[in-house]
Amino acid sequence: MRRSWITLALSLAATLGLAPASAQDFPNKPIRMIVPVPPGGTGDMVSRLFANVASKELGQTIVVDNRPGATGNIGTAAAVKSPADGYTIFLCSIGNCAVNASLYANPGYDLFKDVAPVALLGYSINVLTVGPQTGINTLPELLAKARAGQLSYASSGVGASNHLGGEMLNKVTGVPLLHVPYKGSGPAITDLLGGQVQVFFDNEPSILPFIKGNRVKALAVTGKTRSANLPEVPTMEELGYKGFIIEPWYAIGAPAGTPPAVVERLNAAFNRALQDPTVRKTLQEAGISAGGGSAASFAQHMRVEHDKWAELIRAQKITAE
């Protein structure tokens, strides 16, 4: 009985011109990639890098459409409400595709009902840094000053991975670090350098030039392993904090209901883009490790990340509203 209903449904869809798209037929026109962050940041850079190379793989232009606002919710909501035909995709990240579902009462979309995971592009780490005026050189020194109530930490906004890093440090150590949110990493770094805040758990791509220029001190990284760009800096796990892993990631999503053949075609194109020497070099220089894998493996990754950050958000009573 089940097979007959499926056969009937497919037959009706074909009659109405709604049959699932074939990977051989897709794409036959340009694809729009909604990027729910402003131009110029790491997410935008990753999006444009992959859009350029994947366009060649697909034989059609991928047009980047920046739709920033509400920490990614505005652009993501617009993307998932678009036709589920593969011609609208979007940048999926730790924020809009993991954290925001718990941070906002109504982000404008349902993460697990409205999003079709496509491909994991890459992931970075965060770096625990302190400003030059602090005189701090190790994590124990930081914790000692924090216990005395002398330190505040910056973030690029409530719910950003650098905010969650500070909250995780508060949770696992019990030290009272004061959160000071900014509108982006740029202003936060400016105040870190100026001494208005003392601590910043920033993404490696944006903080790395300041570490290399000896303008801030790196105390630890939040990856599973040390960074190739900062081999002398220990991981938080090496310093005794098991499970202290923060790896902001970048991926591609599509509206739920996008035909599986189209998802597979897109996944294959982005996986091939990951093999491009220019892509690999650009990612490495920015402190981003290459991703890859199937749409199913990315879906599992998204679920694990959602659950992890939902637990921290509940424990620390974090809200953006």
Q: For position 6, what pLDDT does the model report? A: 37
Read off the pTM: 0.87
Cα dist from 158 to 142, 237, 266, 305, 320, whole Å:
22, 25, 32, 17, 6
State residue 178's pLDDT score. Answer: 93
Q: Is the peptide bond before 27 cis (omega within 30 degrees of 0)?
A: yes
Q: Provide CB contacts within 8 A for 73, sequence distance 6+.
A: 36, 96, 100, 104, 107, 108, 109
State the 10-residue block means of pLDDT for the chain, 321 residues long. 39 41 80 94 94 97 95 96 98 96 95 98 97 95 91 92 94 92 90 96 93 97 95 97 96 98 98 97 92 98 97 93 66
Write down the pLDDT at residue 228. Answer: 92
**pLDDT of amino acid 153:** 96
Give me the DSSP letters along 235-276: BTTTTT-TT-----EEEEEEETT--HHHHHHHHHHHHHHTT-
User: What is the structure's pLDDT at 21?
Assistant: 45
Cβ(259)–Cβ(266) below 8 Å: no
